[in-house]
Amino acid sequence: DAGVTQSPTHLIKTRGQQVTLRCSPKSGHDTVSWYQQALGQGPQFIFQYYEEEERQRGNFPDRFSGHQFPNYSSELNVNALLLGDSALYLCASSLQGSSYNSPLHFGNGTRLTVT
């Protein structure tokens, strides 16, 4: 049973460019959340997708956008990259409506470096 998979594992971009990160949720999960983890910090919630719609959003600018596909996979897009966007981006999946006894499953992340 495959867990949460993210691609690519590493990415280097230049300031001002745009980037797309991808996530496939754990089999049986229908909800995807994205987190940004800056170096030396804890993860920060970006947004959550369910039924192909953004359901919740953290305190991130509109440069951060996402998408969820009918197969529940998801993309995170960041436009006009800034140096401060350099971070590990984590995807987490869950089953909507399940209790917290069913935990979030995290992927290994995509390491984005902006130069």
Partner 1 sequence: AQSVTQLDSQVPVFEEAPVELRCNYSSSVSVYLFWYVQYPNQGLQLLLKYLSGSTLVKGINGFEAEFNKSQTSFHLRKPSVHISDTAEYFCAVTAVGSARQLTFGSGTQLTVLP
Q: Cβ 79 to partner 1, closest distance in Å?
A: 23
Site string for partner 1, 6-45 (x = CB under 8 A): -------------------------x-x-x----xxxxxx
Residues 44-63 that bind partner 1 (CB under 8 A): 44-45, 48, 50, 55-56, 58
Residues 75-114 that bind partner 1 (CB under 8 A): 90, 92, 94, 96, 99-101, 103-104, 106-109
Q: Which residue has the tokens 């969820």?
A: 68
98/115 with CB nearer partner 1 = 98
81 touches 95 (CB < 8 A): no
Nearest-5° angle of CA 28, CA 105, CA 77? 90
CA neighbor of 112 nearest in space, from 19, 32, 4: 19
Name the 3-class secondary structure at 84.
helix
